[in-house]
Structure 1
Amino acid sequence: MSKKIQAAVVGVGFIGKQHIEAIHRIPNTQVVALVEPNGESAKRAAESYGIDHYFTSIDDMLNMDGIDVVHICTPNFLHYPMAKQCVEAGLNVFCEKPLSLTTLESNELKELARKHSVYTAVNLNYRSNVMIREMKHRISSGMIGTPLLGQAQYIQDWLMFDTDYDWHFDPSKVGPSRSVADIGTHLFDLIQFVYGEKIVKVFADLMIVYPTRKKREQTGETFALEYGDTVTEVDVVNEDAAFILVQLESGIKVSMDISQVTGGYKNGVELVVSGSKHSLSWHQERADRLIIGNRASGNEELYADPKYIDPSLRRFISLPNGHAVGWADAFKNSISEFYEDIRNDGHNDSQSYVDFETGHTLMKLVEASLQSSKEKRWIDME
């Protein structure tokens, strides 16, 4: 029997619960411990999910034997110090994105992971959707001809009003970037992943649409906040939206449209690749479809079904045609492939997750975008 992976999850808010539920879907795994500063919240979550151990500090959790991997599901500013603690303790780490607040921090984590020979991952789960994998296959195999250009979009509306305010607006908790670091990193990763090329140049225009916002007392989790009546005017210092143009190694240019203030879009991730024979379009809110665009005939809509995709990708589909695979499935796929690397000592070349080295590269792209917007020029990536 293959090794049972025993995991600890740090943070039991919205995203921490998604990690727990994804792990529970993977055979031969077990969440054995939770960490949450609020003792009552930690106890409730442990009882709800049937988890034996819970702690109010990561230090206490690190004294527990038998943990193979730690999932860090906390606000951004805690990613670096917690990941550092776990790596230095010799534990494998699956961290939420972005990996850190700065490239100095992400570079240190990358080097520590090498030094301690641990497996690391950053949660950029869209690359593990089966139709993104099919898109990558069709590009690399030449099925769409020569790639010409592309568009990428990640737009949301959860911060659309000037009364929307939470910890994401505090640079001490998220760093100098909000929307590019939070959702733009997904697009940077998807673009490099599906084209199989690195981004070598960046030109960005970052925008703050509300110079001030109305901060109110709040309770609840991200995307489900409830507000009190007391209002304080707060200056906004990080971006609500961005237009970014990137250039790949081959010279292909891809435009990126990022917004957290666009009404009616809940999680609007879209990717379009224009080839000399066909185009490919993927929309996250219809994640089980891939649109093949044709000039001389009608467009094709490809469903996520083992019969229609490359045989090497069938393991990414857990449901039959018509039972839509989506966000939670890609999430589970990323963790599952990461765990297989831990079990098999790295003999997995599926590229289904982002390690700390790539996480560091994504942080460099965030900082390049900030520099480009400030200096109004193209920034070359080193």
Structure 2
Amino acid sequence: MAEDRAVRVGIIGGGFMAAVHSRAARAAGADLAAVASSSPERGRAAATALGARGSADDADALIADPEIDVVHICTPNDSHERLAIRALDAGKHVVCEKPLALSGPAAAGLAARAASAGRVATVPFVYRFHPMVREARALTASGSIGRVLHVDGRYLQDWLLGADDVNWRVDASAGGRSRAFADIGSHVVDLLEFVTGDRIVALTAITSVAHAARGGRPVATEDMVHVLVRLASGCHGSLTVSQVAAGRKNALRLELYGSDASIGFDQEHPDQLLLGRRAHTAVVSRDPAALSADAARLSIVPAGHPMGYQDAFTAFVRDTYDGVISGSLRPEVPTFADGARAALLTDLVLDSAASGEWVDVPSAVPA
């Protein structure tokens, strides 16, 4: 596409995530051309709510629109694979919510399809785009905390705490056979591997359900997951994921414990890192003048001016669009290959929970 015009974007979906994508698209300088939802009427309403120029009668019409450069897929999980295939086959660049597909092999197939098509295809693992996550990554890579000995990751929410709390994600036919891990655990493993630069090579997991039924219907997907992991370096770690943790709204934390120091990142306080040493512990606040180059690039306001989730999402979208325009995607941008990695790990977490055994993580999964 020409570099002298804005990227033209279409969004499929009209819910919370579509709103987040729309704000990011506009902030990144895109032309929000159209929105499609589950019906023409819903599409028109969503287009008005999201500030789009127009709407499409359905997803197929939006994908077929020759004006659209990038399709954002913000629909229930069971439709991601189908819509991504259609968009890629239509020559579109794609931003698809996770899980990329409902199984590791299906997600790997999408990643291969995107690579073959030569399209930019990204998945919003947006916590990578907090400046202080990039700072944690730079400090770890530089050896500032020494050899990483063990890691701890947590993602805790309470929005499904009650037995009467229901959502389409609870239904395995729409959300897939994993709920808590596919929905938020995938962010933990992506962040762990991104910050450490290391890979999970084996894991063992247990899952549990808080309520056997929700809204009078049996529950087949997990509320809580505990995972032990072994990384390629030999480092061990523990991960805890819950959507029934009372009082925790969006508590994503990653802590790395090295031979010289530790680093802690808390998504609910994203402008800070906790840097611990045996002699003292310090809070490192975001200051572009003192950060690594990558962290400073993402730091769009001066020190003392808070940044948050929407800023991280916008940075992800902006880097995606820059890749569309230039034909070269920054290596830190999460692609369909990263989405396939998360889907593979989700499969293995459920497999391990079912067998009670450790399972090895292959470097890749056949499509």
TM range (shorter): over 0.9
1:24 pairs with one of 12, 26, 40: 26
Gaps of 5+ in 1: 216-232
Q: How does 1:41-80 map to 2 (within 5 A)?
A: 41-80=42-81
Q: Distance in 1 between matches of 2:261 and 2:63?
A: 52
Q: Distance in 2 between matches of 1:81 and 1:286?
A: 37
Identify which range, 269-278 or 34-43, moves more after superposition.
34-43
- Aligned counterpart, 2:328: 346
TM-align CA RMSD: 1.3
Deviations 1:94-135 (A, max 9, x none): 001111111232122112112211110011110111111100
Deviations 1:331-356 (A, max 9, x none): 1111111111111111533x1x2111
Cα offset for 1:2?
4.3
Q: How does 1:231-246 map to 2 (within 5 A)?
A: 233-246=216-229
Contact 2:37–2:46 under 8 Å retained in 1: no
- Aligned counterpart, 1:119: 120
Q: Distance in 1 between matches of 2:180 and 2:33?
A: 33
Query: TM-score normalized by structure 1?
Result: 0.92
1:302 aligns with 2:284: yes
- Aligned counterpart, 1:355: 335
Letter in 1 for 2:354: K
Letter in 1 for 2:270: A
Cα offset for 1:49?
4.2
Q: How does 1:74-223 map to 2 (within 5 A)?
A: 74-213=75-214, 215=215
Q: Distance in 2 between matches of 1:17 and 1:25?
A: 12
Contact 1:3–1:343 under 8 Å retained in 2: no
Q: Distance in 1 between matches of 2:239 and 2:178?
A: 16
Contact 2:320–2:329 under 8 Å retained in 1: no
Letter in 2 for 1:9: I
- Aligned counterpart, 1:218: none
Q: Distance in 1 between matches of 2:63 and 2:318?
A: 23
Letter in 1 for 2:231: L
Contact 1:168–1:178 under 8 Å retained in 2: yes
* Local SS of the residue matching 1:7: strand
Gaps of 5+ in 2: 363-367
- Aligned counterpart, 2:14: 12
Deviations 1:163-192 (A, max 9, x none): 111211111111111001000000110011
Deviations 1:26-53 (A, max 9, x none): 13x2111111123333223323444222
Contact 1:273–1:280 under 8 Å retained in 2: yes
Contact 2:40–2:58 under 8 Å retained in 1: no
Q: Distance in 1 between matches of 2:6 and 2:73?
A: 20
1:329 aligns with 2:331: no
Contact 2:39–2:58 under 8 Å retained in 1: no
Q: Distance in 1 between matches of 2:267 and 2:294?
A: 22
Contact 1:203–1:246 under 8 Å retained in 2: yes
* Local SS of the residue matching 1:307: helix
1:265 pairs with one of 248, 266, 273: 248
Q: 1:126 to 1:347 in 2, by over 3 A?
A: closer
- Aligned counterpart, 1:228: none
Contact 2:140–2:196 under 8 Å retained in 1: yes
Contact 1:304–1:325 under 8 Å retained in 2: no
1:373 aligns with 2:353: yes
Contact 1:302–1:308 under 8 Å retained in 2: no
Letter in 2 for 1:341: G
Q: Distance in 2 between matches of 1:160 and 1:64?
A: 42
Cα offset for 1:82?
0.4
- Aligned counterpart, 2:269: 286
Q: Distance in 2 between matches of 1:106 and 1:245?
A: 24
Extract structure 1 runs of 4+ deviating beyond 4 A. none
